[in-house]
Structure 1
Amino acid sequence: MPANTTTATDRISPTQGDDSSSSFQTDGRRERGNRNKAAVVAALLDLYAQGEIQPPAARIAEIAKVSERSVFRYFDDMEDLSAFAVELQWSRVKDLYENLVADGNFSERLAAIVEQRLHLYDKVESVYQVAVLAARKNTVVASALKKRRSILRHQTMKQFAQELDNHPDSANARRILDFTLSLENVDYLKSAMGLSSAKSSETLHAAVSILFHLQH
């Protein structure tokens, strides 16, 4: 990464003070500004979690307890704010994406990935559902969703690499498996069909086992 490249998180982080006589006052303003920035980002995620797809700046400011004008003093526009929110959300859920046991026989690997996807969905459900809708108009959110799906897809293919390699119709099997274990499908099972976590788990186990003609 180039030395001058910064992320949204870098831009929120407090800056070290200098040795000038006004450094304490300057650092104090910076710290307050950074706290307010973080509050605005957290407020947007809170509103997403409450189901608000495109909350106006006034609503975000209200939750963050800052002035509406401050929102656009800290961020260039709503997409810039969304970029910060995406990074904050990723920092909160990254471990859930990466925490997957990939060892064992078919049944053990299947149980591990089903548990991971259901646990992940339960943790991100509200924000995820809003993000899917927001992605239609927000390129930052759309890009983040695409990356998250890619991570899960790669995990899924790796988790069942042996079974996929031996499948007589590997190309279709990969697509079916990808969808079956996607958050979109988990959302359908739990939200549209109203299945409990236990029934969703049972359904996912059965679907993947049938795909590979194996008993779970």
Structure 2
Amino acid sequence: MTRPIDSAPDLEIADGRRRRGQDNRARIVAAMMEIVHGGEIAPSAEQVAARADVGLRTVFRHFQDMDSLYREIAAVVGVEVRAVLERPLEGDTWQARLLERAGRFSIAYEKMAPYKRAADAFKHRSKFLGGDYARLVEQQREILEQGLPPAVARDRDRVEALALLLSFEAWARLRNEQGLSPSRAQAVIESAVRALIAGSATE
């Protein structure tokens, strides 16, 4: 009678390889995020491999190209950003909630700024990165308009101005070109929003 083949050792080997693969993948993503957060806009695959302490072939085994690595980083950053934006608002009026939302956008933009700068370096040759930011702008607009009362939402000029004030570009201009600290940039944006909605008492 033929004895059944004991496959347990093979399963353990496969499971060990899978765990090592998952660990390497996480290390590669973490390494890329550390390099970008440190100010390197367009790190090479060699830099990522060195920081993650893995071989160059391992990087490309998990990520066929650098664009796919940015795709995974975008997913990680997206989770962090959504955690900020999706917390319940506490304001009693739509004006208070709008100002609170402006503060949330500021925090989210500060988190994503290093990765946005790096993504811009690749956007011209990456369909994903270009489309990813377009989706972010669309989501930001939806969040803004959902929080406005109908009478204010019908004032398209005011809505467009609010969308501009609460955009990443406005935040980046204050932080980079005008050299403001995060707290000062947030204060300036909130002051401008207050001026724009002054006199709009509609609930």
Pair 1:87–1:165, CA change in 2 (3 A): closer
Aligned to 1:90: 78
Aligned to 1:16: none
Pair 1:207–1:42, CA change in 2 (3 A): same
Aligned to 1:115: 103
Q: What amino acid is the match of 1:117?
A: F
Aligned to 1:175: 160
Q: What amino acid is the match of 2:126?
A: N
Distance 2:17 2:64 in 1: 19
Pair 1:103–1:96, CA change in 2 (3 A): same
**Residues 180 and 207 of structure 1 are in contact (CA less than 8 Å); yes or no, is this contact kept in structure 2?**
yes
Report percent identity of matched pairs: 25
- Unaligned segments of structure 2, at least 5 residues: 1-5
Aligned to 1:201: 186
Distance 2:60 2:36 in 1: 19
Aligned to 2:174: 189
User: In the TM superposition, what whole-angstrom CA distance separates every residue of 1:68-126 from its partner, at most 9, and x where no partner exists?
Assistant: 11111222222222222222222333201322517522441233112212222232232
Pair 1:183–1:161, CA change in 2 (3 A): farther
Distance 1:146 1:171 in 2: 20
The Cα of 1:66 is off from its aligned counterpart by 0.2
Aligned to 1:134: 122
Aligned to 1:9: none
Distance 1:82 1:196 in 2: 27
The Cα of 1:26 is off from its aligned counterpart by 0.8
Aligned to 2:55: 67
The Cα of 1:136 is off from its aligned counterpart by 2.9
- Unaligned segments of structure 1, at least 5 residues: 1-18
Aligned to 1:159: 147
Q: Secondary structure at the match of 2:124?
A: coil
The Cα of 1:61 is off from its aligned counterpart by 0.2
Count of residues paired in the alignment: 195
Q: What amino acid is the match of 1:93?
A: V
**Residues 70 and 119 of structure 2 are in contact (CA less than 8 Å); yes or no, is this contact kept in structure 1?**
no
Q: What amino acid is the match of 1:192?
A: E
Pair 1:198–1:67, CA change in 2 (3 A): closer
The Cα of 1:215 is off from its aligned counterpart by 8.4
Pair 1:51–1:138, CA change in 2 (3 A): farther
- Of 16, 20, 42, the residue aligned with 2:7 is 20
Give TM-score, length-normalised by structure 1: 0.79
**Residues 163 and 212 of structure 1 are in contact (CA less than 8 Å); yes or no, is this contact kept in structure 2?**
no
Aligned to 1:12: none
**Residues 103 and 109 of structure 1 are in contact (CA less than 8 Å); yes or no, is this contact kept in structure 2?**
yes
Q: Secondary structure at the match of 2:92?
A: coil
